[in-house]
Amino acid sequence: MYRNERDKETERERMPYVQVDTNLWAVMRYPKDRPVAMIQGLANRENVPLFFVMTWHPEPSKRRVVSQHDTLEEANGSVLWDTRAVAEMSRVNSGPANGRR
């Protein structure tokens, strides 16, 4: 999937996640003040690791599983960006260099 370690690090910077506990990661996108999803790592009876993507909620009992993946990177990649925040920022900041429209 990655051509070299540099590509892998670039991808990780682009799609950040933070380990908050053993086998629990917070997936950070926009807005950056809270996670947009959580990834829970578990093993099945054959000790095969599985990663479950869950919706974000501050109360853990209200999180819901939305997908299952074989690797942490696949699980992280399945969480999409909210492009509305980026589109709004580029709309506000686009225009002529002098700032006049």
Residue 100 lies in a domain: no
| Tens place of pLDDT per residue across the chain (101 aa) | 456 666 655 555 567 888 899 999 999 887 778 888 999 999 999 999 999 999 999 999 999 999 999 999 999 988 887 777 667 767 777 666 665 55
Residue 36 lies in a domain: yes
Residue 101 lies in a domain: no
Residue 20 lies in a domain: yes
Neighbouring residues of 24: CB distance < 8 A, sequence distance ≥ 6: 38, 39, 40, 41
Over 39-79, what HEC string results? EEEEECCCCCEEEEEEECCCCHHHCCEEEEECCHHHHHHCC
Residue 57 lies in a domain: yes
User: Total structural domains in the chain?
Assistant: 1
According to the model, what pLDDT value does residue 80 have? 82
DSSP label at 80? P
According to the model, what pLDDT value does residue 14 have? 63
According to the model, what pLDDT value does residue 43 have? 94
pTM: 0.69
- CA dist., res. 18 & res. 39, Å (int): 10
- Residue 42, domain extent: 5-93
Neighbouring residues of 86: CB distance < 8 A, sequence distance ≥ 6: 30
